[in-house]
Structure 1
């Protein structure tokens, strides 16, 4: 893969957001929008998918996390490709942990195919994460769940979808959220009326609020602890 786009924290880093773009995009496609909404203590990593043939697009080569064979929710899926992409995401998480950021301070996110990868990667990771932001997407290899899940039931998931999405049908998002809610304890599915296969200011405001909620308390708590140590 190409080197990821990285937006460094503007104060001491205590959290990380790893966000995967959609089919045919690059890490640059989301980096500016995410930089504008992330907390100052959060580093943002926007990797770019490898360029490979995509069956759905007649074999045309483009940045893609895994092959897409069909948009039929019951159709064949590229299981080896999904698992290989998952391993890459797990490697990025591990790199952040090695740099001193605990798993429960790392948010996974993504849009469309990238959101699908974020969901799958989070559920199959063996340490609780801060949360998952899944935009306009679906849960890949859904028939394997909940058996394939190895993460905590408590990892929060924020799933968002426009009800006018012509690419990843709104119904796919609803079905995925329903399945996730059957084995995860903290799943939010929010509908954006009139939104197609894209984002919106309202959605980004909600993402801003949710990632701050997932990471802010720990940051404030650590600051209080540091202040207490200085006073003592």
Structure 2
């Protein structure tokens, strides 16, 4: 299930945005509604509930298991790949409803941002862009240029708070360096926000709005 902000007029483009660990799609649907573009539909799916190792095996909405948050931590490879397949199925669903994949921006925050990056790099569908907020690149050591088929030239907006205590800024910096090795570096934008913790801020939301409007311009009917 997803929280959906419908387009104000005929939807000719879509944004699929994945929330962070322990959250639901509702909060981000509200945030997207505040920066909406009339011809764009916003889809904010809810993650399944599962036990999360990082949080003492408590069950909560999570796209995949997180063992811990240091850079060398073991990763839930099968869970990440399974979650990416469900994201690609969501993209296919929009394509079936008449929105071509190159008119879809994929995005997410924290764990959702990590999944949006991994899904875009491994998708066969050509996407319009990725918005990766306060996140990291999962399975980065097993990802190589050879994996990326359709999205070598994808535009990426990566954003990070400079005071993030949960996913430190260095994660964002290392991720952007890795992405620049795998993708066309001139299409990657990395923005940091002074004083911002593991959250969003109005300035970041305006940057997201501008990125979406640039990647998903209206189609002249």
TM-score range, shorter chain: over 0.9
RMSD between aligned alpha carbons? Answer: 0.9
Measured after TM superposition, the shift of residue 153 of structure 1 is: 1.3
TM-score (norm 2): 0.97
Partner of 1:192: 193
Q: Matched residue of 2:175: which SS?
A: helix
Q: Which has the higher mean CA deviation after the structures are superposed, 149-158 or 52-61?
A: 149-158
Partner of 1:212: 213
Per-residue CA distance 1:151-198 (angstroms, 9 max, x = gap): 331110100001110000100110000000112111111111111000
CA distance in 2, matches of 1:151, 1:145: 14
Q: Conserved in 2, the CA contact under 8 Å of 1:38 and 1:212?
A: no
Correspondences of 1:111-190 after superposition (within 5 Å)? 111-146=109-144, 147-185=146-184, 186-190=187-191
Correspondences of 1:25-174 after superposition (within 5 Å)? 25-146=23-144, 147-174=146-173
Q: Conserved in 2, the CA contact under 8 Å of 1:38 and 1:211?
A: no
Measured after TM superposition, the shift of residue 61 of structure 1 is: 0.4
Partner of 1:14: 12
Measured after TM superposition, the shift of residue 74 of structure 1 is: 1.1
CA distance in 1, matches of 2:85, 2:143: 18
Unaligned runs of 5+ in 2: none
Between structure 1 and structure 2, the one with the greater Rg is 1
Measured after TM superposition, the shift of residue 144 of structure 1 is: 1.5
CA distance in 2, matches of 1:38, 1:77: 35
Partner of 1:229: none
Measured after TM superposition, the shift of residue 127 of structure 1 is: 2.3
CA distance in 2, matches of 1:58, 1:64: 14
Unaligned runs of 5+ in 1: 227-232
CA distance in 1, matches of 2:76, 2:18: 18
Measured after TM superposition, the shift of residue 128 of structure 1 is: 1.6
Equivalent residues, number: 218
TM-score (norm 1): 0.92
Measured after TM superposition, the shift of residue 36 of structure 1 is: 1.4
